[in-house]
């Protein structure tokens, strides 16, 4: 799994740090990172295969081409097909 | 006393007795969903599976016991469900789910309890063509997902297009409590659909190990 340790951002809004919160369901890991780009680019940075996951931003599933910003709350959901 | 009086306040039997529900896949999810629908008094159930009962199924697939090992799942399931509720009609179809074979299914609602992407695609295709609702359900390890898919909603293809190479029950296992909890949520969605009530379009995520249930809006 990728290393999720990141430098905390220096950007602030009304005195609060702006960070993207990322939760990776498969490994049950949380991270706070600075990132701007698409969901696909985020997965690439985290070394996660985009064919095996869904991405939710602020409680809503999004496409891999949707753009993310630092203030987003991201969940990377594992896809599985067991019955 | 009426057999269904304890559920009448949530769903009148008049809403169920004339309905046909197809349960596609008789594994961990399908066994529980079929049993709950049979006990609820859905008028006609169509059970679909191509497999035979194996020893490794018994920890979670609640319609089978040791004497059923080697029997076709549909045969064992029809026998068990008929003993549970003799007042409903139950058919078994021992077949592989494909776009072609799905033409044999004529139902008001389809319960997707399969274990692979190809079968789910066939169900999505069939329901889109016939303008029928279906309830997607999947389980792995301690987790699950459930979603009611309404006619005209292109949810499955748009969400899972290009997805492959993910884990399955062979690689990660499945907890009996997990897949049976998923089936309970699936049946709850089905009951509301059969009763003509509003059903959430969200994808329900469940993890019985962490006591988590959450909803994610799902129209990417």
| 3-state secondary structure labels for all residues of B101-130 | HHHHCCCCEEEECCCCHHHHHHHHHHHHHH
Q: Does B166 touch chain A (CB under 8 A)?
A: yes
> Is A81's CB within 8 Å of B116's CB?
yes
Structure tokens at B146: 């459930």
pLDDT at A11 over 50: yes
Cβ separation A80–B165 shorter than 8 A: no
Domain edges within chain B: 13-216
Residues of chain B positioned with their CB less than 8 A from the CB of A63: 220
What share of chain B in percent tops pLDDT 90? 95
Contact (CB<8Å) B115/A60: no
Give chain B's count of helices (H) and strands (E): 6, 8
Distance from CA of B113 to the nearest CA of A (A): 5
What is the pLDDT, as a whole number, of residue A18? 73
| Phi/psi at B183 (5° precision) | -60, -40
Q: What is the ipTM of this complex?
A: 0.90
Inter-chain CB proximity B163 and A79 less than 8 Å: yes
Average pLDDT over residues B113-120: 96
- Written as six digits, the tokens of B84 are 């549970």
Query: Would the CB atoms of A80 and B25 count as touching at under 8 Å?
Result: no
Which residues lie across from B133 on neighbouring strands?
Answer: none
- In whole angstroms, give the CA distance from residue B16 to residue B199: 17
Is residue A7's pLDDT more than 60? Answer: no
Could you tell me which residue, A10 or A51, shows the higher pLDDT?
A51
Q: How far is CA B76 from CA B47, B69, B81, B87, B194, in A?
A: 11, 9, 9, 18, 26
Whether pLDDT at A8 is above 60: no
User: What is the number of helices (H) and of strands (E) in chain A?
Assistant: 1, 9
The encoded tokens of residue B12 equal 């009148």
Calculate mean pLDDT across residues B100-106: 97
Hey, are the CB atoms on A79 and B160 less than 8 Å from each other?
yes
Chain A hits for B111, CB-CB cut-off 8 Å, are none
pTM, rounded to two decimals: 0.93
Calculate the CA B160 to chain-centre distance. Answer: 19
Domain B13-216: top CATH class: alpha beta
In chain A, which residues have their Cβ closer than 8 Å to the Cβ of B116?
A: 81, 83
pLDDT of residue A14: 58
- Euclidean distance between CA atoms A30 and B67, whole angstroms: 47
How much is the pLDDT for B218?
84
* Dist. CA B66–CA B70, nearest whole Å: 9
In this predicted model, what pLDDT tens digit does every residue of B17-72 receive, in sequence order?
A: 999 999 999 999 999 999 999 999 999 999 999 999 999 999 999 999 999 999 99
For residue A46, give both structure tokens: 């985290």
Of all residues in chain B, the one with the smallest CA distance to A28 is: B210
> In this structure, are strands B44-49 and B89-94 parallel, antiparallel, or unpaired?
parallel
B169-206 pLDDT, tens digit per residue, is 999 999 999 999 999 999 999 999 999 999 999 999 99
- The pLDDT of residue A13 is 54
pLDDT reading at A44 higher than 80 = yes
User: What per-residue confidence (pLDDT) applies to B29?
Assistant: 98
Nearest Cα residue in chain B from A56: B216
Percentage of residues in chain B having pLDDT higher than 70: 99
pLDDT at residue A6 tops 80 = no
Q: What is the CATH number that goes with domain A12-78?
A: 3.10.20.30
Look up residue A43 and give its two tokens.
């997965």
Which helix (DSSP H) or strand (DSSP E) does residue A62 occupy?
strand A60-62
What residue of B is the nearest CA neighbor of A75? Answer: B216
Residue pair B131/B53 in contact (Cβ under 8 Å)? The answer is no
Determine the average pLDDT of the residues in B153-164.
94
């Amino acid at each position: 799994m990728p290393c999720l340790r990141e430098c905390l951002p220096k950007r602030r809004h009304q005195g609060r740090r702006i960070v993207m919160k990322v939760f990776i369901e498969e490994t049950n890991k949380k991270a706070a990172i600075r990132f701007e780009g698409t969901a696909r680019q985020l997965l690439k940075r985290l070394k996660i295969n985009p064919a095996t996951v869904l991405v939710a931003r602020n409680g809503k599933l999004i496409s891999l081409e949707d753009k993310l910003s630092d203030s987003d709350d991201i969940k990377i959901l594992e896809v599985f097909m067991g019955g | 006393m009426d057999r269904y009086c304890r559920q009448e306040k949530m769903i009148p039997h008049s809403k169920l007795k004339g309905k046909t529900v197809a349960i596609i896949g008789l594994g961990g999810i399908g066994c529980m969903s079929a049993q709950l629908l049979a006990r609820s008094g859905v008028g006609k159930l169509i059970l679909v599976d191509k497999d035979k009962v194996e020893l490794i199924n018994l920890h979670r697939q609640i319609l089978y016991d040791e004497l059923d090992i080697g029997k076709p799942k549909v045969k064992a399931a029809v026998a068990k469900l008929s003993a549970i509720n003799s007042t409903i009609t139950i058919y078994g179809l021992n077949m592989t789910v494909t776009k072609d074979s799905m033409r044999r299914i004529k139902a008001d609602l389809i319960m997707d309890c399969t274990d692979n992407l190809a079968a789910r695609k066939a169900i999505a295709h069939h329901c889109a063509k016939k303008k029928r609702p279906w309830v997607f359900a999947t389980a792995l390890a301690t987790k699950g997902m459930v979603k009611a898919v309404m006619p005209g909603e292109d949810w499955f293809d748009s969400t899972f297009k290009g997805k492959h190479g993910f884990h399955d029950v062979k690689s990660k296992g499945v907890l009996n409590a997990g897949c049976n909890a998923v089936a309970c949520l699936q049946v709850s969605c089905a009951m509301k659909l059969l009763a003509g009530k509003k059903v959430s379009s969200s994808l329900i995520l469940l993890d019985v190990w962490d006591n988590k249930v959450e909803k994610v809006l799902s129209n990417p």
